[in-house]
């Protein structure tokens, strides 16, 4: 059976469709696909000229091709941009429909160019169809014939059929190209990442960044500038080409020129034609050897913050790839982080070095050990004090140098509280067999991720010698004064007894002064003796049931003459039924006299002093309250230490022994002594003593 006319046309259309789809689907390169679409459509309708513009999702032209006769012009995107704005292709895109122009000279939609003048190609006919895929226009195909009225509606139909097929092929090719481009960008970034982050040396990191950008973008020069710490200027730190080395150190204000603008706004820019001088600063004027024709600039970012910029100048192939800015921006993010890390590492090293120098040059002796006591590090001073060389010390453990008071430190340093220092005294065995008394400060320190022990060792030979000297002096004073003093006291007593009742009052008064003074010296020497006894651990033995009130009356009587010279009142508020205490009466009387003497000494003229007591369970609590300056809280504990004086340069004389004696004496009786002091109200010295059992 012969096919009828309609069937023949359908058959031809199907053949055409088949060959079109075969032709188009066999290529993935966008340029090739466009050429084929154009050639196929032109040959099928007999067009002489034609063009295709491909657009991205936002409608911007990304690829274009023009065919004039048998000449194919690739990369014609820029030429076609104008048509897309104001010509026939633009009309097709805006109206989303095909167009047939029978006479271009009389149709508004045709963008007239000098070429369309009558004397030249003159009036033509044209068809233009959108390339649509899933309701989205991906391009426009336009065909032209030099004679008006050439194209018919059948041509338009045919072109539309081809365009429908071509749309899919163009989209595929575009996606393919996009994925290739992505892969290229990702590969460039991955390569850069591994190279740039492989070093922590700042200079090397900068050089690697420049080299990576040169390789990835194939440009003549790469430069890098960092924002200074004040955040006002960019300073160029590195540049890849010898001719631009003079740029290093050059400063650009933030916001000025291309580099300053990118640094301020944090967004990269490409200037494809750098003759447009307005848009970038003249930072390269200082390098007249460099003639800039294209430049790309991207921010260097670390943790989302711009820390500088990167510039890629003069692509070797004449123009930047479309993905150049993306690659440069990607490297900018990697590089910013790498620079930040390198800078942090430099700071860390500097701090480490400073710490090492401090440690090494310290005038104190330091050892670092692990928790088993093995010595890990020592400083020069530790070598000096121990006599051992560092290498020897590193083979030793702490207990080979000195023994540690286990009770104080706790087993396995359990008493060592993080952040606090334990102190103890010991003797350091030196290489030369000497035993040096040392004070040791131990604390846990964090070194390289682990905690170790830091031992500060202080030579206390001088202090020990001084202490010994003081002890010797005290015992000398005591021994050499004691017997002549008791001779003086007994002689004065005899003298007193021999003095007639109606004798010269001046004589009696002088005798009283002599008696009181010698009693004071006796009290002092007795207290010194008690102190050395109590310090050597001897117990208080002469314990008798004694009335605190009687002791208090005695003590008040002893200090009254001095208090009277200062117009001070001593109030004895102790209840008469205060129960008896079990004490060495003479020792406690001296404690009371010491406290009262201090109260008199430090209270102003006309001041008031109170001596009171009450009973708490099986203890008597006795106190001396004055109206003096009080004791600052920080001093309240160690004021009871020997030789401690708050104001040694002040007008009040003393040795700092009185309160030390009081504490030793009270504690020797099983009591406690402390201060309750409010500077506004003077001091209250309190102590407790055990009650005597009935
Ligand atoms: P001394 O009085 O011989 O210096 P003490 O051991 O008795 O030695 O006192 C030690 C220091 O405590 C004194 O130097 C003084 O600074 C301070 N102090 C003692 N008692 C008082 C007090 N009642 N008020 C203010 N400061 C006092």
pLDDT at 307: 94
pLDDT at 214: 86
Q: Which atom of ligand 1 is nearest to the CA of 656?
A: 8
At residue 335, φ and ψ (nearest 5 deg) are: -65, -40
DSSP 578: P
Tell whether the model's pLDDT for residue 275 goes beyond 70.
no
What spacing in Å lies between the alpha carbon of 598 and ligand 1's midpoint? 6
pLDDT tens-digit readout, 406-442: 888 888 788 888 888 888 899 999 999 999 999 999 9
pLDDT-based confidence at 10, cuts 50/70/90?
low
DSSP 502: T
User: Mean pLDDT throughout 158-163?
Assistant: 87
Instruction: Please report the beta strands in 569-652, taking only residues with DSSP state E, as ranges in sequence order.
Output: 569-572, 581-583, 608-616, 619-625
pLDDT tens-digit readout, 51-107: 999 988 888 888 899 999 889 988 888 888 888 888 999 999 999 999 999 999 888
pLDDT at 162: 86
Q: Which atom of ligand 1 is nearest to the CA of 599?
A: 23
User: Mean pLDDT throughout 458-470?
Assistant: 87
Tell whether the model's pLDDT for residue 1 goes beyond 50.
no
Distance CA 383, CA 191 (A): 50
Distance between the two ends of the chain, CA-based, in angstroms? 147
Higher-pLDDT residue of 193 and 492 is: 492
Q: What does CATH list as the number for 201-346?
A: 3.30.450.40
Distance CA 207, CA 196 (A): 9
Contact predicate 290/241, CB 8 Å: yes
Q: Which atom of ligand 1 is nearest to the CA of 659?
A: 6
CB burial readout 449-459, b (16+ within 10 A) else e: eeebbbbbbeb
* Domain spanning 5-180, CATH architecture: 2-Layer Sandwich (3.30)
What spacing in Å lies between the alpha carbon of 631 and ligand 1's midpoint? 9
Question: Which residue's CA is the closest to the ligand 1 atom numbered 21?
Answer: 598
Q: Sign (positive/negative) of CA torsion 199, 201, 204, 205?
A: positive
Among 600, 603, 659, 665, which residue has the most ligand 1 atoms within 8 Å of its CB, making it the best to mutate? 659
Among 656, 673, 678, which residue has the most ligand 1 atoms within 8 Å of its CB, making it the best to mutate? 656
5-180 and 201-346: identical CATH topology: yes
Distance CA 138, CA 30 (A): 12
DSSP string, 264-329: HH---EEES-TT-GGGS--TTTT-TT---S-EEEEEEEETTEEEEEEEEEEETTSS--TTHHHHHH
Question: Which residue's CA is the closest to the ligand 1 atom numbered 2?
Answer: 654
pLDDT at 411: 80
Query: Among residues of the chain, what percentage have pLDDT more than 90?
Result: 40
> What fold characterizes domain 539-694?
Heat Shock Protein 90 (3.30.565)
pLDDT tens-digit readout, 374-400: 999 999 999 999 999 999 999 999 999
Question: Which residue's CA is the closest to the ligand 1 atom numbered 8?
Answer: 656
Q: Which atom of ligand 1 is nearest to the CA of 654?
A: 3
Distance CA 28, CA 36 (A): 11
SS3 state of residue 41 = helix
- Return the bridge partners of 613, or none: 622
Both tokens of 649, joined, read 């340069």
Distance CA 271, CA 295 (A): 5
Global pTM reads 0.48
What is the residue extent of each domain of the chain?
5-180, 201-346, 360-459, 460-538, 539-694
Tell whether the model's pLDDT for residue 691 goes beyond 90.
yes
Contact predicate 526/565, CB 8 Å: no
**Residue with the two structure tokens 């540049």:** 239
pLDDT tens-digit readout, 361-376: 889 999 999 988 999 9
Contact predicate 261/269, CB 8 Å: yes
pLDDT at 245: 66
Q: Which atom of ligand 1 is nearest to the CA of 655?
A: 3
CA 103 to chain centre: 75
Q: Sign (positive/negative) of CA torsion 101, 106, 109, 113?
A: positive
Instruction: Please report the beta strands in 371-478, taking only residues with DSSP state E, as ranges in sequence order.
Output: 375-378, 422-429, 435-447, 450-459
> What fold characterizes domain 360-459?
Beta-Lactamase (3.30.450)
User: Mean pLDDT throughout 274-293?
Assistant: 60
Average pLDDT of the chain, as a whole number? 87
pLDDT tens-digit readout, 177-226: 778 877 877 887 787 777 777 788 888 888 888 888 888 888 988 999 99
**Residue with the two structure tokens 């290529």:** 27
Distance CA 270, CA 283 (A): 16
At residue 309, φ and ψ (nearest 5 deg) are: -140, 165
Residues with CB under 6 A from ligand 1: 598-599, 602, 626, 628-629, 631, 639, 644-647, 654-660, 683
Among 527, 628, 635, 654, which residue has the most ligand 1 atoms within 8 Å of its CB, making it the best to mutate? 654
Pick from 554, 640, 626, 541: nearest CA to 589: 554
């Amino acid at each position: 059976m012969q096919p009828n006319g309609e069937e023949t046309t359908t058959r031809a259309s199907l053949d055409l469709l088949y060959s079109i789809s075969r032709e188009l689907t066999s290529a993935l390169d966008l340029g090739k696909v466009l050429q084929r679409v154009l050639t196929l459509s032109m040959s099928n309708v007999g067009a002489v000229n034609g063009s295709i513009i491909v657009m991205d999702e936002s409608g911007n032209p990304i690829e274009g091709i023009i065919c004039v006769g048998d000449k194919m012009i690739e990369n014609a995107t820029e030429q076609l941009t104008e048509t897309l704005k104001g010509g026939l292709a633009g009309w097709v895109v805006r109206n989303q429909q095909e167009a047939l122009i029978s006479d271009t000279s009389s149709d508004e939609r045709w963008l007239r160019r000098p070429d369309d003048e009558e004397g030249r190609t003159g009036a033509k006919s044209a068809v233009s169809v959108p390339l649509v895929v899933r309701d989205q226009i991906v391009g426009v195909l336009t065909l032209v014939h030099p004679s008006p009225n050439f194209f018919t509606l059948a041509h338009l139909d045919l072109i539309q059929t081809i365009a429908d097929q071509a749309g899919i092929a163009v989209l595929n090719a575009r996606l393919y190209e996009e994925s290739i481009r992505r892969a290229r960008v990702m590969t460039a970034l991955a390569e850069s990442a591994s190279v740039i982050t492989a070093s922590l040396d700042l200079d090397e990191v900068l050089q690697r960044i420049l080299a990576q950008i040169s390789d990835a973008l194939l440009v003549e020069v790469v430069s890098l500038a960092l924002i200074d710490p004040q955040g006002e200027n960019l300073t160029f730190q590195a540049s890849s080409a010898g001719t631009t080395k003079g740029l290093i150190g050059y400063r650009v204000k933030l916001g000025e020129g291309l580099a300053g603008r990118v640094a301020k706004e944090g967004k990269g820019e490409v200037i494809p034609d750098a003759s447009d001088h307005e848009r970038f600063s003249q930072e390269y004027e200082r390098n007249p050897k460099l003639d800039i024709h294209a430049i790309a600039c991207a921010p260097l970012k670390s943790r989302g913050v711009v820390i500088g910029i990167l510039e890629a100048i003069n692509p070797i192939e004449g123009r930047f790839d479309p993905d150049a800015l993306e690659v440069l921006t990607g490297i900018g993010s990697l590089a910013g982080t790498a620079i930040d890390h390198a800078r942090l590492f430099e700071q860390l090293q500097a701090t480490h070095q400073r710490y090492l120098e401090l440690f090494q040059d310290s005038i104190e002796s330091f050892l670092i050990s692990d928790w088993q006591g093995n010595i890990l590090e020592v400083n020069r001073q530790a070598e000096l004090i121990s006599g051992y060389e560092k290498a020897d010390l590193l083979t030793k453990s702490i207990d080979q140098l000195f023994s540690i008071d286990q009770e104080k430190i706790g087993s396995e340093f359990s008493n060592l509280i993080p952040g606090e220092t334990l102190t103890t005294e010991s003797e350091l065995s030196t290489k030369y067999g000497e035993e040096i008394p040392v004070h040791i400060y131990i604390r846990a320190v964090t070194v390289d991720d682990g905690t170790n022990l830091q031992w500060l060792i202080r030579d206390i030979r001088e202090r020990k010698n001084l202490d010994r000297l003081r002890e010797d002096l005290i015992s000398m004073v005591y021994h050499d004064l004691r017997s002549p003093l008791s001779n003086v006291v007994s002689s004065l007593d005899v003298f007193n007894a021999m003095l007639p009742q109606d004798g010269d009052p001046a004589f009696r008064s002088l005798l009283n002064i002599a008696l009181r003074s010698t009693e004071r010296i006796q009290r002092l020497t007795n207290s010194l003796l008690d102190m050395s006894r109590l310090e050597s651990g001897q117990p208080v033995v002469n314990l008798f049931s004694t009335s605190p009130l009687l002791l208090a009356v005695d003590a008040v009587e002893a200090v009254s003459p001095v208090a009277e010279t200062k117009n001070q009142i001593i109030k004895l508020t102790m209840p008469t039924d205060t129960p008896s205490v079990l004490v060495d009466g003479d020792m406690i009387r001296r404690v009371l006299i010491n406290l009262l003497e201090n109260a008199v000494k430090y209270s102003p003229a006309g001041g008031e002093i109170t001596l009171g007591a009450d009973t708490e369970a099986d203890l008597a609590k006795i106190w001396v309250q004055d109206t003096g300056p009080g004791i600052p809280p920080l001093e309240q504990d160690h004021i009871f230490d020997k030789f401690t004086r708050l104001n040694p340069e002040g007008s009040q004389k003393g040795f700092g022994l009185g309160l030390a004696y009081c504490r030793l004496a009270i504690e020797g009786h099983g009591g406690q002594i402390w201060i309750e002091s409010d500077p506004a109200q003077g001091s209250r010295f309190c102590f407790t003593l055990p009650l005597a059992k009935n």
